[in-house]
Structure 1
Amino acid sequence: MTIAITGGYVVPVDGDPIDSGTVLIDGSTIAAVGTATDVHIPDGAERIDARGQWVLPGFVDAHAHLGVHEDGEGWSGNDTNEKTDPNGARFRAVDGIDPHEIGFDDALAGGVTSAVIKPGSANPIGGQTVAVKTWGRTALDLVFREQVSVKSALGENPKRVYGEKDKTPATRLGVAATIREAFTEARNYAARRDHAAAEGKPFDTDLTYEALNKVLDGTLAWDQHTHRADDIVTAIRLADEFGYRLIVNHGTEGHRIADLLAERDVQVILGPLFTARAKVEVRHRTMRAAGILDRAGVRLAITTDHPVVPIDFLVYQAIVAVKEGLDPASALRALTANPAAMLGLDDRVGSLRPGIDADVVLWSGDPLDIYNRAMRVFVGGRDVYRFDPERGEGVVADRLYRERPATT
């Protein structure tokens, strides 16, 4: 099916805004973006009048626990942390996702069409992350990149979890050592595996070290949970030691070393921003951090860490960050192109350009104006959300299979 969204203020993110622009959707992908004269609309296409509205790519939350830590479900819906092994590289977030968590509907209402779902931060090495769309009936529908990165944690969380068990790692020294030992053994494992292959001998596969070797060879990024500036520097030192691609997650004190992060080209997924200073390592949290990092030249994404902050509040965090000094254009990039590029997803999401997924959101106006809202959301070209002004609420396309009545 071909859909033409016409007359809106089109913000491709990776190019200049287009007044009275057209976005042409062909099936599940974007076919063309441009002015009314640039884009040919084929006969029979469904036309959507977007006059008075802003048209943007769907937002990307680069660090969420959507579906694995189900909002409102208590312990039974919390599969975020497997707290039984400090090295959980073999654990996969995709195995715990419930696509019927209410958070997926909230995401659509907030214009969020993609999220990278991550294990929690109880372990020094928590497991593998997965990129999903926010509409689908099963994990088979949701997932568009099954392995994106490996999640790791420094600082207070793993230190507390294993310290309470009187086992390693109970200190920052122990946490760093656990990570260092894991990568060292992964290298040794790869050498033994490759030698066995060269000799034509059988070799037992270890899923933990296979995952870590994908980090070492650059296939997967290393998502490092870290808040304090000293822990961020430890993350940099470990990345230098083993040569993997580091992405700082949370980065609460990143603004204190913004120049270093920029110099070392370390990217930061910042947030959640709407939280209390509930533990010692976030005592220097500030809404000014996004602007400081951006002005220093650090590539920045903003996250909710859902359900820590509800995922539909992603844009509100950006709005307040703009109020506290973040450039508005940088704010939109922090919700779209930046998280997509950081995690190697920009071939599918994060902008409006031909050939990528048709994840398109029509806003009532500038999304960085708190009074505006997502009016209509397309995921992969499918019309999945509409705001109904008469009801004063959004309507999400049904995620359930409905058996059709038998025909005679």
Structure 2
Amino acid sequence: MTGKLVFAVVLAFCLLPVFAQDPGSNPGQGLLIRNATVHTATDRGTLRNADVLVRGGRIARVGSGLVADGVQTIDAQGKPLTPALFGGITGLGIEEVSAEDTTNDTALALGMDAKHMVVRPEFDVTLGYNPESVLIPVSTIEGIGFTLLGAGSNAGGSIIGGQGAVMRLDGDPEPTGPKLLFVQIGARTAELTGNARAAQWMLLDQLVDEARGRIAADSHAALLTPAGRAALARYLDGNGRIVVGVHRAADIRQLLRWAKKHGVSIAISGGAEAWKLAPQLAAAKVPVFVDPLANLPASFDQIGATLENAARLRAAGVEVGFTQSGDASHNARKVRQLAGNAVANGLPWEDGLAGLTRVPAEAFGVADRIGTIAPGMRADLALWSGDPLDIANVAEQVWFDGRAIPMRSRQTELRDRYLRTLTPASEGGLPRAYSH
């Protein structure tokens, strides 16, 4: 074994998660959270001194002065209560150590250049999801309740990364919503299409023709397998949603034309220059998931990046959500910092919260289950020490289906263990590296 692989194995062993939720256990008999500042993420907005009653794992009532017998009662003392938050488009559960390929299942790389590009839209990353991932408790104890598993987040060997879906981080191994297809457009994948952006649209048009049966499956020019044709066909004519990674305004303009031409429902991930086309995006009802910290021209596709991106988009009527650039899987818990920065740069606070709750739930097909605090919704909730968009505050308790999760992860256990060993043995401390 190489030193790198040995290190990864040892790290995985040391950080083995022990706090995953058990999806097979029954929801709590009942829960009443009283006297909270309830941020519903619905048209009801924020309710002061309000109560939330949970029965059978779902929200039964939201109001004031609620009374219920035989349920656990918690006094929130006026603190904020929100839906459990969206962690962004990540590889949570399909990525452990970014630098160790054997622990990274986010992308399919069967071909790495245009001549050998293999397009496999049938590739489904949810099949590799591990609900006992080390990274999940690190996120859930900080208020993150669901994520969208992104396919081909490292571009892989195709402009079509494959399919992903929303996963609740409660230990359930199955997706909680419909599948979504991931496509990457722009400079990042131009090398896969002959180093020409225009060729990306040419190939996407060809793929649609194949899915519609306009190009014979046995044609020498065909790029899709039979399973790939069937998979792609499910996203045409308004069925399903395609999540497109794109930044440059010129590319977004072509994307809107392409989506209209083929009757495709799209969402944008990234969109550093999306504000330049805000009215068009609003008219087409395209949600945009931005990184509000993008403020510098990290590439020629992002020359127009601005901290006011989210605020400008929302002012034009675009539904705005949040996701991270870079190592999103290991930093999902920081997504509320993104929302806070968007608010600091002009986005209304309620829209900042919506971008972490209602907006992703609606965009990715799970709004009938999660993302808001309303009767009938799953009781995935987070109680905060203060404003959840201010990183000075923390999640004091998180619930899935009304069940309180242990507010600790393997990382907090290791922290406590090694802090304890700093105390001299004469004062009750333990020898280094021993926990009991």
Q: Scaled by the length of structure 1, what TM-score is found?
A: 0.83
Deviations 1:350-402 (A, max 9, x none): 100111111100011121233211110011222114379xx89999xxxxxxx
Which is worse superposed, 149-158 or 264-273?
264-273
Q: 1:46 aligns with which of 54, 59, 72?
A: 72
Matches within 5 A, 1:277-288: 277-288=297-308
1:347 pairs with 2:382: no
Distance (whole Å) between structure 2 residues aligned to residue 338 and residue 394 of structure 1: 35
SS of the counterpart of 2:359? Answer: helix
Distance (whole Å) between structure 2 residues aligned to residue 108 and residue 190 of structure 1: 47
1:27 pairs with 2:56: yes
SS of the counterpart of 1:215? Answer: coil
On the 8 A contact 1:109/1:394 being kept in 2, the answer is no
Deviations 1:243-287 (A, max 9, x none): 011111111110122222223322211127368754332343222
Deviations 1:174-212 (A, max 9, x none): 2212211111111117999xxxxxxxxxxxx92212221
Distance 1:271 1:148, change over 3 A: farther
1:75 pairs with 2:95: no
Distance (whole Å) between structure 2 residues aligned to residue 56 and residue 114 of structure 1: 13
Distance (whole Å) between structure 2 residues aligned to residue 17 and residue 283 of structure 1: 37
Matches within 5 A, 1:129-168: 129-136=164-171, 139-140=173-174, 143-145=175-177, 147-160=178-191, 162=192, 168=193
Matches within 5 A, 1:275-354: 277-304=297-324, 307-308=327-328, 310-354=331-375
Distance (whole Å) between structure 2 residues aligned to residue 384 and residue 225 of structure 1: 34
Higher strand share: 1
Structure 1 unmatched runs, 5+: 163-167, 193-204, 396-408
Matches within 5 A, 1:3-402: 3-14=31-42, 15-36=44-65, 39-41=66-68, 43-72=69-98, 74-84=100-110, 85-121=117-153, 122=155, 123-136=158-171, 139-140=173-174, 143-145=175-177, 147-160=178-191, 162=192, 168-188=193-213, 206-271=226-291, 273=293, 277-304=297-324, 307-308=327-328, 310-386=331-407
On the 8 A contact 2:308/2:342 being kept in 1, the answer is yes
Give the counterpart letter for 1:209 in structure 2: R
Distance (whole Å) between structure 1 residues aligned to residue 358 and residue 347 of structure 2: 16
Which is worse superposed, 26-35 or 63-72?
63-72
Distance 1:112 1:83, change over 3 A: same
On the 8 A contact 1:374/1:387 being kept in 2, the answer is no
Distance (whole Å) between structure 2 residues aligned to residue 116 and residue 332 of structure 1: 17
Distance 1:294 1:350, change over 3 A: same
SS of the counterpart of 1:260? Answer: helix
Q: Provide the residue aligned with 1:201 in structure 2.
A: none
Distance 1:248 1:118, change over 3 A: same
Kindly state the Cα deviation for residue 217 of structure 1 after the two structures are TM-superposed.
Answer: 4.0
Structure 2 unmatched runs, 5+: 1-28, 111-116, 218-224, 417-436
SS of the counterpart of 1:369? Answer: coil
Distance (whole Å) between structure 2 residues aligned to residue 369 and residue 392 of structure 1: 25
On the 8 A contact 2:295/2:306 being kept in 1, the answer is no
Please provide the CA RMSD for this pair: 2.7
Distance (whole Å) between structure 2 residues aligned to residue 347 and residue 394 of structure 1: 38
SS of the counterpart of 2:405? Answer: strand
Give the counterpart letter for 1:5 in structure 2: I
On the 8 A contact 2:88/2:335 being kept in 1, the answer is no
Deviations 1:315-363 (A, max 9, x none): 0011111111111111011111111111121001110011111110001
Distance (whole Å) between structure 1 residues aligned to residue 318 and residue 375 of structure 2: 28
Distance (whole Å) between structure 1 residues aligned to residue 41 and residue 415 of structure 2: 25
Distance (whole Å) between structure 2 residues aligned to residue 79 and residue 283 of structure 1: 31
Distance 1:302 1:236, change over 3 A: same
